[in-house]
Amino acid sequence: MSQTEKETTHFGFKDVPRDEKAGLVKGVFDQVASRYDLMNDLMSLGMHRAWKKSMIHLVEMRAGMQILDVAGGTGDIGFALLEQIHRKQLRGEVTICDINAAMLSEGRDRAVNRNILADVEWVCGNAESLPFENNRFDAYTIAFGIRNVTDIPAALKEAYRVMKPGGKFYCLEFSRVTSQTLAHLYHSYSFHVIPRVGKMVVGDGAPYQYLVESIQKFPDQKTFAAMIRDAGFSQVRFENMTGGVVALHTGYKT
């Protein structure tokens, strides 16, 4: 690999300096923070809610759970995990970590509006260098966030580092569609409809253009599963949802 290749990475379909990607991604989410759920509705035709629910219901709950939700600034995953903990009458805490302060601010406001004031911690931090000690968390969740980090292998190694032995990793991400017919329809919708609707919603289609491009650049299911194994996780598996539009990847820290 040449020096130039080492210093660049993908921002959608563009090659950009590695040290600029985080700022560019931040700009995207600064624009959509207040309409994040609407953004996901546009990206998934509303299916993101069912996909997230499936992941949350798979999280193995036990007393005293410490759960880390990364790239979850607006709180939708964290709130649902807390609801599960409280419903099962278990002690536990959810730490919501996001690199984007605007997303965290949106999440805190939502928490106050829903009177969710206990058992949740808000932390501004980078998935590639998490501000937590080793072996702290029983579970790590990330939904539609891993493809936006600059160095995915580094983020996976950090996930492994901060988890307790026996802890479980859960990653929900857009992936490769398994049906050729569905893939054609999904591609047409992604590139011809989403940016146009996004422009009507937030006044600028560029953030949505980046988001659909970032999906295309993300590794396929088997490649990403291999990356999770390379980070140290065992019993790595993935489950396709909606014909591979999304995949849920899991693994254990041994």
CA separation for the pair 186, 8 (Å, rounded)? 28
170-191 per-position pLDDT tens digit: 999 999 999 888 888 888 888 8
Is residue 75 within 8 A of residue 99, CB to CB? The reply is no
Q: What is the pLDDT of residue 233?
A: 98
Structural domain containing residue 82: 3-252
Query: How many C-beta atoms lie closer than 10 Å to residue 131's C-beta?
Result: 10
Longest CA–CA span in the chain (Å) reads 55
What pLDDT sits at residue 45?
Answer: 79
Q: Find residue 9's DSSP bridge partners.
A: 16
pLDDT tens-digit readout, 79-98: 999 999 999 998 899 999 99
How many Å separate Cα 14 from the centre of its chain? 21
User: What CATH number does residue 21 fall under?
Assistant: 3.40.50.150
Task: Give residue 1's pLDDT.
Answer: 43
Q: Which residue numbers in the chain have pLDDT < 50?
A: 1-5
Number of folded domains that form the chain: 1
What is the pTM for the complete model shown?
Answer: 0.87
H helices present in the chain, as ranges: 3-6, 18-32, 36-44, 48-58, 76-87, 101-113, 152-162, 180-192, 194-202, 206-217, 221-230
What are the start-end ranges of the H helices in 90-172?
101-113, 152-162
Q: How far apart are CA 175 and CA 83, in angstroms?
A: 28
CA 91 to the chain's CA centroid: 25
Rounded distance, CA 169 to CA 142, Å? 9
- Looking at residue 202, its pLDDT comes to 66
Tokens, residue 235? 């019993």
